Chain A
Amino acid sequence: MSPLKYVRDALVFAPCYVALDWASYIDPVGPFNITPWNPQAALAIVWMLLGGVQHVPVVLATIIAADTIVRHAPGGYFITLFTSVTLAGGYAALAWILRSLLADLGLRSSRQLTVFVGVVLAGTAIVGAAFVGVLRGANLLADTPLPNAWLRFWIGDAVGILVTAPLLLAAADRERRTGMLALARRRETLVQALVLAATVWLIFFGLGGDPGHHFYALFVPLIWIAARGGMNGAIVATAIVQLGVVAGIHAESMPDLPVPEIQALVAALTLTGLYLGMMVDERERAAESLRQTLRLAAAGDMAGAIAHELNQPLTALSNYGQSALMLLSRGDAAQLPVVIGRMLDESQRASEVVRRLRDFFRAGTTRLEPLQAAELEGAVRSIAQQIIGARPVALEVLSDPELPALFVDRMQIELVLRNLVANAVEALEKDGPPDKRIRVRLHSPDPQHVSVIIADSGPGLKADMLERVFEPFVSGKPTGMGLGLAISRAIAEAHGGALEARPAAHGEFHLVLPCSHSA
């Protein structure tokens, strides 16, 4: 690091530290820096976390300066030097331990959060003991019980770091910064902030009495915020609560307000918020990675189908080509035109596959268009006939008269229908009854929707499988990824429709699709 940058960083850090120390010098023990709120500790630790422990001389000088400016070095300069060395050394050790234990400083998993919380709680307890020990050694804390002084120091540093450090780390982290900015643009966030501020006001002024008695009320908006905004929301919310509490303490007229107890409650609230936010984030990440897997699996299924479709004409092409070569080598030109004609047919067939493929990928983005019920009926019929092929399965397609037109992406809906009919055919084949029938009925349950009911004469689903079949990777078939129905339901829901399996003695699926005049 260049000396210039070192000095510039120091010039930013030092005034901020002194200002925070001054602002947070509330409810002290005697004239010393033992207060129940020490956000400046977080500033020192985060600064050394991000910049490295080589900043420790600046931190030491700043702590000495702050004690001199804010408290006029209450124990004399010798004591200030001693306590400052204790603090600077302790914070540097905390920063060094966190730097070596945390993979990245974004606090992105429960494990990382636990490491952070554990190191902070244990580290501040030790630093507090050393700090109080130095003062006691100089006979300066004679009229305060040692455990009280230590507890106050510990609560102050622990809360200060737990609330402020995540906020500072988040501000230094690009991903968290953009996440927080996105949160700030949500209208819900404004409502949440107002509710939070109002709750703090109620606790301190609105309800009267000891603010600690009503503190529990803050858990409600905090849980709301963490559940909706995850870790980012929780970090900002706990900072707002802390600021509100400090403002309340300053404005409160009660002389013997139990500030350390309130700060202990803030610590509990902060831990709850951070862990809840982390769990929400982790769940969201798991869901996102599952969605990613689904997309990949769908692409994989598609690629398999494409390979099959293309390999047939390619095989024929290669065979005909080989035959043409053999005909040429034996000088038998009479058959050649026929063989070459078939080669042309096969290449035509291959290009047809490629054209359909292009259509499918175009359909990858949902393109809604009106689809007449009669067209849908025709599509169902041709898809089902194609899948049933030569199998002994009777097909019946019924349509109520005068159905409204649908508003759907035709390509995607055909994919869903293909899937449902293929499932029905497989159900009939696997443990099929002697009487193999598939019956498709189109009707309109209400003016906004059209239902496609696909029923087969197979044994149907067991009650416990009705919902499970839609979960990814749950499959009743030995082959197959168990993704077809999951993808089909996703497509139906993306249309504002639904897909469900109905309890029945036979297999029955209901696909509900929106009509054009409802969209």
Chain B
Amino acid sequence: MQPQRLTVYIVDDDASVRDSLALMLGLSGYSTALFADAEAFLAAWQPQWSGCVVADLRLPGRTGIELQAELRARASSLPFVIITAHGDVPTARTAFQAAAVDFLEKPFDHAQLRAAIESAFSMEGRRLQRAAEAARLAVLTAREREVLEHAAQGLHAKEIAARLRISPRTVEVHKTRIMQKLGVRNVAELVRFALSSEGGK
């Protein structure tokens, strides 16, 4: 399954900062989207957007941190990198309380920004993977899910059969169907999948 393309959403009221960021990040291989303020971003926002928001702290209207709060209220977990030309401690503290990935003071280092975006992207990557796995698990029937849970505990077909009070042969049929549905090739992979999806619950 192909992962969704991650995008850097830049929200800054300074046209030059916006333009230069887009150019630099574009050349670094990121896809970018630009917004002059929080309202413009919210107007365009779609629930399936994934990637990272790089927002200026002081924007006309809603601030970068208020934008983050609004997105959380809309159940979006898009990670935020807050940038500001006023590097003051109280706002930095608010940003961290609001769980921004990073708080960068303008002018920032190119490497710092990339590191922040990369860490945001890896958070997003994990989130997307978990979502995909949850989606795949959803295609299993209740009985198949029970079989998978027991298999994940390392039980053999006979033991599973005894516990679920079905014949070992039926267990084998369920297993084969589960492997077909989840697209895994052998039992070891099936167990790994079951473990990772449990860990991600």
Binding site for B on A (CB under 8 A): 304, 307-308, 311-320, 322-323, 326-327, 339, 342, 345-346, 349, 389-391, 479
Would you call B60 and A315 a contact (CB within 8 A)?
A: no
Chain B residues 48 to 77 lying within 8 A of chain A, measured CB to CB, are 60-61
Contact of B106 among A311, A320, A339, A390 (CB under 8 A): A311
A307, A319, A389, A391: the one within 8 Å of B17 (CB): A319
Whether B96 sits at the interface, judged by CB under 8 Å, is no
Q: Kindly list the 9 A-B residue pairs having the minimum CB-CB distance in the complex, ordered from nearest.
A: A319-B20, A311-B85, A316-B16, A315-B107, A315-B106, A314-B107, A311-B106, A316-B20, A308-B85
A317-B107 in contact (CB<8A): yes
CA distance in complex: A317, B23 (Å): 12
In the bound complex, residues from chain A placing their C-beta under 8 Å from that of B6 are none
A–B Cβ pairs within 8 angstroms, 26 of them: A307-B86, A308-B85, A311-B105, A311-B106, A312-B16, A315-B14, A316-B14, A316-B16, A316-B17, A317-B107, A318-B108, A319-B17, A319-B21, A319-B24, A320-B20, A322-B24, A323-B23, A323-B24, A326-B27, A339-B23, A345-B16, A346-B16, A346-B20, A390-B60, A390-B61, A391-B61
- Contact partners of B21 in chain A: CB under 8 A: 319
Chain B residues whose CB sits within 8 angstroms of the CB of A339 once the complex forms: 23
If A323-B20, A342-B20 touch, whether A312 touches B85 (CB-CB below 8 Å) is: yes
Note all chain B residues with C-beta closer than 8 A to A313. 16
Least Cβ–Cβ distance between A314 and chain B, in angstroms: 4
- Chain B residues contacting A308 (CB-CB under 8 Å) are 85-86
B19→A342 contact, CB < 8 A? yes
CB–CB B23/A320 < 8 A: yes
Shortest CB distance A334–B (Å): 13
Closest chain A residue to B15, Cβ basis: A316
Residue on A with the closest CB to B108?
A315
Least CB distance, B54 to chain A, in whole angstroms: 11
Q: Which of A304, A326, A327 contacts B86 (CB 8 A)?
A: A304
Do A391 and B60 have beta carbons less than 8 Å apart? yes
Inter-chain CA distance A345–B17, complex, in Å, is 12
Q: A308-B85, A316-B19, A342-B20 are in contact. List 9 more A-B contacts (CB 8 A).
A: A308-B86, A312-B14, A312-B85, A315-B83, A318-B108, A320-B20, A326-B27, A326-B28, A346-B20
**A318 to B107, alpha carbons, bound, how many Å?**
7
Determine how close the nearest CB of chain A comes to the CB of B19; give it in whole angstroms: 7
Chain B proximity of A386: nearest CB distance (Å): 12
Interface string of B8-43 (1 = CB under 8 A from A): 000000101101110110011000000001000000
Is B165's beta carbon under 8 Å from chain A? no
Minimal beta-carbon separation of B90 from chain A (angstroms) = 8
Measured CA separation A319–B60 after assembly (Å): 23
B110–A322 CB distance below 8 A: yes
List of A residues within 8 angstroms of B20 by Cβ: 315-317, 319-320, 323, 342, 346
A76 to chain B, nearest CB (A): 80
Chain A's closest residue to B28 (CB) is A326
Q: Which residues does chain B contribute within 8 Å of A320, judged by CB atoms?
A: 20, 23-24
Centre residue among B21, B37, B83 by max chain A CB count within 10 A: B21
Instruction: State in angstroms the CA–CA spacing of A390 and B28 once bound together.
Output: 33
CA distance A322 to B22 in the complex (A): 12
Q: Cβ of A304: which chain B residues have Cβ within 8 Å of it?
A: 86
Please report the C-alpha to C-alpha distance between residue A349 and residue B37 in the assembled complex, in whole angstroms: 22
A202 to B56, CA, bound (A): 77
- B27:A311 contact, CB within 8 angstroms: no
User: Cα distance A339–B26 when bound, in Å?
Assistant: 13
| Contact partners of A317 in chain B: CB under 8 A | 20, 107
Residues of chain A within 8 A of B106, CB atoms compared: 311-312, 314-315
A380-B52 Cα distance, complex, nearest whole Å? 41
Taking CB as reference atom, which chain A residue is nearest B23? Answer: A323
Bound complex: CA of A301 vs CA of B14, how far in Å?
Answer: 21
Nearest CB on B from A328, distance (A): 11
Given contacts A317-B107, A323-B24, contact A349 B16 (CB under 8 A): yes
**Nearest chain B CB to A316's CB is how many angstroms away?**
4
The distance in angstroms between the C-alpha atoms of A318 and B23, with both chains bound, is 12
Report how far A320 CA is from B24 CA in the complex, Å: 7
A469 to B: closest C-beta gap in Å: 22
Roughly how many angstroms separate A276 CA and B58 CA in the complex, as a whole number? 51
Residues of B within 8 A of A349 (CB): 16
Inside 8 A of A323's CB, which chain B residues have their CB? 20, 23-24, 27
Nearest CB in chain B: distance from A345 CB, A: 7
Query: For A314, what are the chain B residues with a Cβ–Cβ distance below 8 Å?
Result: 106-107
CB neighbours of B37 from chain A (8 A): 390
A307 to B86 CA separation, bound complex (whole angstroms): 7
Complex interface residues of chain B between 77 and 95 (CB less than 8 A to chain A): 83, 85-86, 90
Most buried by B among A318, A342, A345, A479: A318
Shortest CB-to-CB span from A338 to chain B, Å, is 9
Shortest CB–CB separation between residue B30 and chain A, in angstroms? 12
Closest Cβ neighbor of B26 among chain A residues: A323
CB interface residues, B 105-138, toward A, < 8 Å: 105-108, 110
A389 touches B86 (CB 8 A): no
Verify B86–A342 contact, CB threshold 8 A.
Answer: no
Q: How far is the CA of A342 from the CA of B16 in the complex (A)?
A: 8
Residue among B14, B16, B21 facing the most chain A CB atoms (10 A cut-off): B16
Do B23 and A319 touch (CB < 8 A)?
A: yes
Residues of chain B lying within 8 A (CB to CB) of residue A322:
24, 110
A495 to B20, CA, bound (A): 44
| Bound complex: CA A82 to CA B107 (Å) | 82
Chain B residues contacting A315 (CB-CB under 8 Å) are 14, 17, 20, 83, 85, 106-108
A174, chain B: closest CB distance, angstroms = 43
- CB B138 to nearest CB in A, in angstroms, measures 43
**Contact residues in B for A345 (Cβ distance below 8 Å):** 16
- Shortest CB–CB separation between residue A392 and chain B, in angstroms? 10
CB neighbours (8 Å) of A316 from chain B are 14, 16-17, 19-20
Q: How far is the CB of A194 from chain B (nearest CB, A)?
A: 58
In the complex, are the beta carbons of A389 and B60 less than 8 A apart? Answer: yes
Q: Closest residue to B85 on the A side, CB-wise?
A: A311
Contacts of B108 in A (CB 8 A): 315, 318
- Per a CB cutoff under 8 Å, which of A318, A327, A342, A389 touches B27? A327
